[in-house]
Amino acid sequence: MASQQALAIVDLYKEWSGKLSMNGDMSLDELRVLFDDWGELSSEPADVEFHEATLAGISGVWATPKGADKSRVVICCHGGGFSVGSSKSHKKMYGHLAKAVGCPTLTLDYNRAPENPHPGIVEEAVAVYAQLLEQGFKPENIATTGDSAGGNLCTTMILYARQKGYPLPACCAPLSPWYDMEGTGESLVTNADKDALVGGDLLAGMVAAFLGESGSAKDPLANPLYADVKGFPPTLIQVGEYEGLLDDSRRFYEQAKAAGVDVELQVFPEMQHVFQFMAGNAPEADDAIQKLADFMKPRLGLS
C-alpha cells in the first residue's frame, strides 16, 4: 500500500487537472509556471551545491554533492512533454540522485517545444554530450537519465550520439518514459482511472507541439519504440504501476531485451507518474533513487 507521504503527488496532480479543466485557454507561459511547482514535491537535498552553467550554448544546472567524484557525471533530461518543466522544477530531484550516486548531475534546460520542435531538442542534448567529451569526460564515466519526455530524451540522445559516431555513455536510466508518440499503449485505457495526470488529451497536444508540422510519430529519434537498440548501453527503467504510460516502459523493455541489451524494468506498486519527485519526502521515492544509484555506481566505476 502506498505511504501517506506518497499521496502528495496525487493531490498535486488533481489540483493541476482541476486548474487545466477550469482554464482550458491557459497560455503556454502560464502552463510553464504551473509545472515548475513539480519541484515543491522534493525536499532540499543536504550537502549539495547548485550552480548554473552553459555547455554548447545550452543552459543547465549542476548539482554537486559534498565529496563528489567530479570525473563522473549524470546528464539529466527534465520531463514536461518537451513543452514545460525546467531545471527549476527538477534540480532538487536530480540533486538527490547526485548525492546518492556520489557524482555531479547536470540538468539540461534545452529549448522547449513548440519554439524548438523535433529534432532540435535531441540535437541540443547530443551537443552537450559532445561538449562534455571534449572537456575530457570519458564516455564510460557518463550516464543519462530523464523523466517522462526526458526519459524519451535520455534514450534518444544515445541513439543520435551513435548515429553521429560518438562513443556511447556507460548507462541509461529512463524514469516513467514517454516513448509512444502514437498513443497506442493499452495502459492509457486500463490505467485511465488510476493515473492522476497523464491522459490522451494532454499527450495529443504535446505530441503536436513536439513534432511540429514535419515531424513523424514513427521517427526512432522521437519514438524509440521504432529504434534499433542493439548495442544500447545497460538500461534501468523505473515506472509506476498506476501510470497511463506504463506500457511505454514495458514495450521498450521487451524490445531492448530481445535486442540483447542489459535491461531491467522496475515497476513500483501504486505509484504515479514520476513519483521520484517526492525524493526526501516519501519512502517510495527514496527507494527508487537508491535503486538508481545502485544501478549507476558500478557502471560509472564508483564504489
Rounded Cα gap, residues 303 and 299, in angstroms: 10
Q: Enumerate residues 6+ apart whose C-beta is below 8 A from 137.
A: 71, 72, 73
* Predicted local confidence at residue 200, as pLDDT: 72
- Three cell numbers at 2? 502506498
- Is omega for the bond preceding 119 within 30 degrees of 0, making it cis? yes
Domain housing 125:
7-298
Cβ(192)–Cβ(244) under 8 Å? Answer: yes
- In one-letter notation, the amino acid at residue 274 is V
Q: What is the mean pLDDT of each run of 10 residues along the chain (303 residues)?
A: 96 90 82 94 98 98 98 98 98 98 98 98 98 98 98 98 98 98 97 92 91 96 98 99 98 98 98 98 98 98 92
Give a yes or no: residue 131 inside a domain.
yes
- Three cell numbers at 165? 559516431
Q: Which residues pair with 119 in a beta bridge?
A: none
- Three cell numbers at 129? 554530450
Give a yes or no: residue 137 inside a domain.
yes
Rounded Cα gap, residues 157 and 143, in angstroms: 11
* Predicted local confidence at residue 20, as pLDDT: 81
Give a yes or no: residue 159 inside a domain.
yes
- Three cell numbers at 90? 527538477
In this prediction the pTM is 0.98
Q: How many domains does the chain have?
A: 1
Give a yes or no: residue 109 inside a domain.
yes
Give a yes or no: residue 281 inside a domain.
yes
Give a yes or no: residue 303 inside a domain.
no
SS3 state at 163 = helix
Q: What is the CATH number of the domain that holds 123?
A: 3.40.50.1820
Give a yes or no: residue 88 inside a domain.
yes
Give a yes or no: residue 1 inside a domain.
no
